[in-house]
Amino acid sequence: MNDDHSVFVSPLGTRYASPEMSYNFSDKKKFTTWRRLWVWLARAQMELGLPVTAEQVLEMEGQIDNIDYAAAAAAESQTRHDVMAHIRVFAASCPLAAPIIHLGATSCYVGDNTDLLCIRDGLDLLLPKLARVISRLSKFALQYKDLPTLGYTHMQPAQVTTVGKRACLWLQDLLMDELSIRRLREDLRFRGVKGTTGTQASFMQLFQGDSDKVKRLDARVAQLAGFEAVFAVTGQTYTRKLDVLLLNALAALGASVHKMCSDLRLLAHLKEVEEPFEAHQVGSSAMAYKRNPMRSERCCALSRYLMGLPSNALHTHSTQWMERTLDDSANRRLVLSEGMLCADGLLLTLQNITEGLVVYPAVISKHLADELPFMATENILMAAVSAGGDRQECHEELRRLSQAAGDVVKKEGRDNDLVRRVKESHVFLSLALPIDDLVQPSSFVGRAPQQVQEFVKDEVAPVLARYEGQLEGEVALKI
């Protein structure tokens, strides 16, 4: 954290994201990666027969972390070119290797490939975090698979579901996000060694027209960087379509989390389910009794920011004239790092929520009792007819009793007394109906408990198996 309080520092780094994700987009990671890329290029050129020596490569390797940032800033101020500034500073610390640093390359060799390395490493940080959320939420779903709760459509009382089944709706969205982010990670390619407009002309000249060696150079540098594949064609940059796909995947994750946390905020209002609330946590500076769902609200806030980023990437990609324009540069410095940092902070907060969800069965039962008698009227009607009652007479009596009970609830603010009215009705007394059995919440949940078990077994478990050994550890929020 920057101790100079007169300088703005992004809250994503200081408040929300993890130290490892913050480092992933730090200047140190960026510029040491530039130097590694120069080392890898030199090593591959040496292996393929260019006049680069092992001593030069070793000298460069020894200076990877020895960066004079002040000298680099001064050089950039003079040259107005960040890559050229760092080449000069690197060369000054590597006098033997200076003549061959950046040989045949263009600025996007280090710039774009570093971005791809940071994206790759960032996705490798995000995916296990997402898996941990899925793991915690699946345990919650199984724990409460049988607990009946009032379902809502249009935010109006609907048929009964279970607390665990509702959690599976959230889980399903997160599984779709895991798949799209994982596929993006698996399909990620390196820009590689392509030259100024993607034709590799400079390298063809260095290798005296040997196309096979230029192709091997491209593959070898990618291999040294840990990539199995390179883009077959590029302009000066890798296609900014990739940035669109990345931010679309992160924004989709944001939408899933926003939906889930909006539900949790509504459930907190109903006092049915609450996020964790610490012993000394303050809900309001004025209202001492408040228990605000601040974690869920934070998730919604971060998600909203994340969901706004794809349009930026779309505009950037669509305006990359011909082989490239530089109006992507300043923009991408913001949206790529901020998008990944935001997603990281989002998942940390969501993991904290899912590790401490509190359910209040008594409140859930009370809300069910307020509405369930109305939903049970069809069951009562069918049982009455089966017991010998007249269908039309029973229907009319239930209609009359339901309206009377509804008036008690809405106009007098009292509990729903429909069950008592049915038990006392002369129409139903003689039929000896098991009224209490007919209004048991568990008889209204359908296959919800089985759906939860099947979903976790068939859909969730195979995904979590991919992250074996990476699911441990709890999250304690800093703020």
Catalytic residues: 154, 284
Residue 439 is classified by DSSP as: T
Beta bridge partners of 230: 190
Q: Which two tokens stand for residue 185?
A: 């990670």
Residue pair 427/397 in contact (Cβ under 8 Å)? The answer is: yes
* Three-state SS at 148: strand
Distance set, CA 473 to CA 100, 123, 135, 349 (Å): 46, 19, 12, 14
* Three-state SS at 157: strand
State how far the Cα of 383 lies from the Cα of 391, in Å rounded to an integer: 10
Strand 273-274 versus strand 358-359 pairing type: antiparallel
Residue type present at position 439: V
Phi, psi angles (nearest 5°) of residue 451:
-60, -40
> How remote is the C-alpha of 200 from its chain's centroid?
37
Distance set, CA 306 to CA 40, 311, 372, 373 (Å): 34, 11, 40, 43
State how far the Cα of 294 lies from the Cα of 276, in Å rounded to an integer: 10
Phi, psi angles (nearest 5°) of residue 278:
-75, 160
State how far the Cα of 227 lies from the Cα of 189, in Å rounded to an integer: 7
Q: Which two tokens stand for residue 130?
A: 């997402």
State how far the Cα of 242 lies from the Cα of 127, in Å rounded to an integer: 18
Of 142, 198, 182, nearest in space to 165 by CA: 142
State how far the Cα of 467 lies from the Cα of 459, in Å rounded to an integer: 14
Phi, psi angles (nearest 5°) of residue 159:
-65, 160
Q: Given 3-state DSSP classes, what are the helix, strand and coil percentages for the chain, each rounded to the nearest 5? A: 65, 5, 30
Residue pair 295/476 in contact (Cβ under 8 Å)? The answer is: no
